Amino acid sequence: MKRWLALLSFSATLALAAPSPAEIEARTKHLAHELRCLVCQNQTLAESSAPLAQDLKVQVRELIAAGKTDDEVLAHLTDRYGDFVRYKPPLKASTWLLWAGPALLFVLGLGLLVRLVRQRAHLPDEAFDEEPRDDA
């Protein structure tokens, strides 16, 4: 009788630990929005209909069904495909340019605009006069 109770409690523990199909699907959808399609590159797995994206969603679903946490699934895919697979890659030494790039380009463009305006401010008024046209 004790064996049956132990087996029953162990089975109940496993059943409670295993994610339900609804939970698996919800977590798969959530992670599909955080992962990049490696074929499309500008779409998440959720948005992409590429065969590789479908395969990656199946792989994510299988990892979740196997009891992996979201962080473990992301770590597994990052180890396999690199930080590029994450739609929002983490900030670290290898991705700092990805995060700082837009700000650097903005500052560079603003600096060029200020320089151009200052150069034009020092030009004489004659430099801005229109040349006479021959309307004949």
CATH of domain 17-90: 1.10.8.640
For residue range 3-38, what is the model confidence (pLDDT) as tens digits?
766 666 655 555 556 678 889 999 999 999 999 988
Per domain, the residue ranges of the chain are: 17-90, 94-124
Nearest alpha carbon to residue 73 among 39, 31, 24, 41: 31
Q: Is 48 exposed, middle or buried (0-12, 13-18, 19+ CB in 10 A)?
A: buried
- For tokens 């049956």, the residue is 4
Predicted TM-score (pTM) of this structure: 0.59
Query: Which residues have a Cβ under 8 Å from the Cβ of 56 and sit 6 or more positions away?
Result: 35, 37, 38, 45, 77
Give the DSSP H or E segment for 1.
none
